[in-house]
Amino acid sequence: MPRLTKDLQRVHIIAGVDPDPSAISCVMYAKVLTMQLDMMYFDDYSLGDVVICDLNGVTVGHLLRIDINVVRALEFCYKIHLHLPGSNTLFDHVQRGDVPDELGGTAGPIDMFAYEFIRRAETLRDWFLEQDKYTSDESKRPADNHYADSIFGVAGSFRKLTVD
């Protein structure tokens, strides 16, 4: 959403799932998410995020295409609240003016925000293409990389932490 909430949080809307589960690509969604986050940092820094996922039209076929690591990561990062269709419990967490019309808010239609996102991404096309050039040199990674198995890239625990 284009503006921050009164608590200076950014509202992110995930909606309009493709009815064909085979068209779902977690990699594509992750790329769009990272592009959106990059664009957000050009404008401001929020103090937090509210992610609203409209599950209208989502089937078991869609859920089976989700990478289990994404689900595990979400368990640690977000408090999840479920709101039934037609209920007003969403607005206990965010104001109506920060939510699109289709989800019961008054901020305007989702299509308007989606169009604005695409327009802004197109204006930054050259910058995004330049960013794709920067990658890690995997040939320099140690062969016995025991960190690769961890979801967050850090093995072990922080029970004993020494700081100089």
pLDDT tens-place string over residues 37-74: 888 888 777 888 888 888 888 888 887 777 666 666 66
Residue 103 contacts by C-beta under 8 Å, 6 or more apart in sequence?
Answer: 13, 15, 52, 54, 90, 110
Q: Are 1 and 107 in contact (CB under 8 A)?
A: yes
Check residue 102 and report its DSSP letter.
Answer: G
pLDDT one-digit tens code per residue, 100-146: 999 999 999 999 999 999 999 999 999 999 998 888 887 887 777 66
Q: Using CA atoms, how far apart are residues 68 and 48, in angstroms rounded to an integer?
A: 24
What's the distance, CA 145 to chain centroid? 28
> pLDDT per residue over 69-98, tens digit each?
666 666 656 577 788 888 899 999 899 999
